[in-house]
Amino acid sequence: SGAKKVIFTCAECFRTFKIDYNEHLGPLGFEVEHISTFLLPYIKDGKLTFKASKKRVTYQDPCRLGRHLGIYDEPRELLNSIPKLELIEMDKNKGNALCCGTTAWLNCDIFSKRMQTQRLLDAKKTGADMLTVACPKCEIHLKCTLNEKTNEPMQKIDIRYFTTLLSDNIKENK
């Protein structure tokens, strides 16, 4: 296509292109960047602004974005750029964050469910009304666990992809 840069919203896709494809296929001929690092300069120079949101949000650090690529602060900076949004950290965050319990889409066994349930309880413990994620596997599997009949007694928490949360709050510049 002649593209010089490809921007990823998916943590695993970004990691695959940045690390795995380069390692196994050699140079790709284009840059790759995660949406969180791509958007920050636009926020810093005022080209991208957000309307206020009174949401109380906690953030799930995706394994592939955080531990594999060292991107911890940029998603938080983006979330903190939404006026009045309160970002509340879970006890285990950044490099100490717990995995959502899902790997390689292979299965979702009892051990995965326990990890997912624990992470949902950790998120709820913060007092946040929303858990935002930057990995589609985290989103799908945490939502699945939250909505299972066995978890009906557990208080619900809204789970939203962080780029959706950002786009829902974009302020129109006139």
Each residue's pLDDT tens digit, 23-69: 899 988 999 999 999 999 999 999 999 999 999 999 988 887 878 78
**Nearest by Cα to 131 from 61, 36, 46, 71:** 61
Q: pLDDT at residue 133 above 90?
A: yes
Residue with tokens 């299965």: 107
Other Cβ atoms less than 10 A from the Cβ of 132: the count is: 26
Domains detected in the chain: 49-168 (3.40.50)
Instruction: Kindly state the average pLDDT of the residues 120-124.
Output: 90
